[in-house]
Amino acid sequence: MKTFLLSAFLLVVGASGFAQELNMKWGKPTDEELNMTSYAQDPEADAVVLCKTTDVMYDYVVNKFKVNYDIKCRVKVLKDAGKECANVTVPFHYNNRKLDNCEIVSKVKATAYNIENGKLVKTKMDNSMVFYEDVSKKTRLLKFSVPQVKQGTVIEYEFTIISDFPFNIKDWNAQASIPVRYTSYHIRIPEYFKFNVSETGFESLTHKTNTTPMRFSLGNGEGISCEGADYTFIGENLPALKKEKYVYNELSYGTKVGIELSEISIPGSYYKNFTTTWEDIDQMLLNDDDFGGRLGKNPLKKQMTEAGIYNITDDEERIAATCKLLRSLVKWNDKTSCFAESASKVLKEGTGSNADINFILINMLNDAGLKAVPVVLRTRNDGIMPIAHPTYENLTSMIVKVSNGSNVWYIDGSSVDGYLNVLPDIMIVESARSVEKNVPGEWIDLTKASVSRVNTSIVGAISADGTIQAERTSRYSGRAAAQMREKFRLANDSIDFMRKLPEFENSEIESYRLEGHKDFTKNVGESIIFKSSCSTVGGKLLLMPLLYKLFEEAPFTSPERKLPIEFPCLSITNTSTSFTIPDGYSVEKIPDPISLKMPDGSMSFVMIIGVEDNIINTHCQMQCNKVLFSAQNYAQLKEFFDTIIKKSEDIVVIQKN
């Protein structure tokens, strides 16, 4: 770690090529900032954070410590798409049952600065543009929109978060989805709080650490004085965390600072060890009325009896029947959480979050003679689970684990298109945790529980003019079946669905049949009778052995990559084709077979082409055995997929005898 001397002004390179002093005067954008048209470090950027400061300070109010977060930010909008920066969302902890155990956002201000007719026009945000949204029992969002923002606008906003959690310091993200020219993080912590500081990410920060005197008022003119640790982190010219394919949350891999408190020790007052373990988190959840308090009585016993569910002997069929009954009574409201409302309220309203639905499902399944427990997790779009820093605030969702002997199933009862062991992509995480009364929690790798399987067979005949008459039959299982259900559900109708099949863009579909796409079942079946064609050159027929490309476009095109690669799920795809060639023709040339495998066996591809009598047979299998790949594997992955794409475009040459 490097030390540095923080001066009042730092020289940075301006977007227009001039040397520009850092402007730390809030409410006074400079002429250079107002006239800025691009950012030299990233000429394609839609906007840039010119300056952002985060100051964190402990306070002592009404006999308890609080933490104040003061955030100020100045953004330059460079392109029309950059106007999105005017919409700001701030998540914070909220508990409507314990208002003395939550966070409050205050002092929200925002201003837009524009040059109009050569004059500076300042537009302040009205309070009517500030509102709140509850996303779960424990989390609320502050949202506001800065007015009169357009290309060329300089935006400034600020707010303060007052937190009742002195033992839980929020992570500080230095990077953002747009480039950051300057950002600073300043925190002062009294000596009573023992902590560890960690810095992660690809970009480097400068920092310094000092001790500083601190004093807290106890009222009536009394106070306590102590030493404090004074930390400052600064980032300059940090690149944007741009969206990349196969990444669910870019911020997970950005440069950040995390501070974990280990104990509190105040002389003459109290000592408390805050080195929390995941076992502590398990117990906190079980003691919470909205988690452990939701485990118990089955609210749908009568309905299950009427449906004959208790009489079903096969475990999987009994689980499926229970899920179907609940799905008919409660619809998902698109919200995810670990904490649930009361079952009576959810059933009365007929809608609920995934936690609302899953807790009811747990109680139903336990009553049906199975063992069902909650499994908590952090969804992939919320970021990576920080296992080294146990806290239930990092848990954003939950699913159900069902077991009977050695058989185990994982279910999200709210998933519209899923099934047993078929989870939404965002829930297929490496680290989820089961929580059970009187039983130690265990870590579960859900990436191995949800697999996409596709088996496709194409049988057809080629005529002398190159016309191909064929039928394709496919069986989709696991995540592949869920994806087919989703595609069909989101299409306007069956015709619209067929039109969106990319591999049949240049084919004529004569009949189409889809089965299982509207049911809560394991598989979806598809049958397509179609007419296509192969190229003809000099009287020869040129046939792509799989008939269509494996990929519409290359998944990886950049020469290098900093971020890891996250595939949706494990997958196995088998494709076989069988084409009868016309009478009087023979095969002149077939592509060589290919067998590829990543060094660690995480990806493999095999394609074999053969000719028997007058039939061309092809078998192709592609398998992905790992979900997460590091950036160091990128070159290998890119070469692997590039080779497959090139190989799938090889042709069989058919000549006339």
> What is the tens place of the pLDDT at every residue in 490-516?
887 777 777 777 777 778 889 999 999
Model pLDDT, residue 14:
37
441/654 Cα distance (integer angstroms): 62
Q: What percent of the chain lies above the pLDDT cut of 90?
A: 70
Residues contacting 607, CB < 8 A, separation 6+: 545, 546, 591, 593, 594, 618, 619, 620, 621, 647, 648
CATH code for 452-476+487-656? Answer: 2.60.120.1130
Rounded to a whole number of angstroms, the distance between the first and last alpha carbons of the chain is: 75
Banded model confidence at residue 549, pLDDT cuts 50, 70, 90? confident
Could you state, in order of their start, the residue ranges of all structural domains in the chain?
Answer: 11-18+47-273, 279-448, 452-476+487-656
Query: Cα(161)–Cα(108) distance, rounded to whole angstroms?
Result: 10
φ, ψ for residue 278 (rounded to 5)?
Answer: -70, -25
pLDDT above 90 (res 301): yes
| Mean pLDDT of all residues in 548-569 | 89
Task: Pick one of 3.20.20.300, 3.40.50.150, 3.10.620.30, 3.40.50.300 as the CATH number of 279-448.
Answer: 3.10.620.30
Q: In 7-49, which residue ranges form alpha helices assigned H by DSSP?
A: 31-35
Q: Which residue shows structure tokens 């009187």? A: 438
Within 10 A of 335 (CB to CB), how many other CB atoms are there? 16
The pLDDT value recorded for residue 50 is: 97
Looking at residue 239, what DSSP letter applies?
P
Task: Give the model confidence (pLDDT) of 160-190 as tens digits.
Answer: 999 988 888 899 999 999 999 999 999 999 9
Task: Look at residue 538 in the predicted model and tell me its pLDDT.
Answer: 86
409-455: pLDDT as tens digits = 999 999 999 999 999 999 999 999 999 999 999 999 999 988 999 99
pLDDT at 4 > cutoff 70: no
11-18+47-273: CATH topology = Immunoglobulin-like (2.60.40)
Least confident of 368-377, 461-470, 642-651: 642-651
- DSSP SS3 for 94: coil
Going by C-alpha positions, the residue among 504, 655, 471, 454 that lies closest to residue 579 is 471
Comparing 11-18+47-273 with 452-476+487-656, is the CATH topology the same? Answer: no
Q: What is the pLDDT of residue 463?
A: 94
Four-point Cα dihedral 304, 307, 313, 319, nearest 10: -60
State yes or no: pLDDT of 271 exceeds 70.
Answer: no
Contact 197, 259 (CB under 8 A): yes
Mean pLDDT across 4-27: 51
What six digits make up the tokens of 313?
């002997």
Report whether 329 contacts 303 (CB < 8 A): yes
Instruction: Answer yes or no: is pLDDT of 9 > 80.
Output: no
Which residues, at least 6 apart from 510, have a Cβ–Cβ distance to it below 8 Å?
A: 529, 530, 531
Q: What is the pLDDT of residue 616?
A: 96
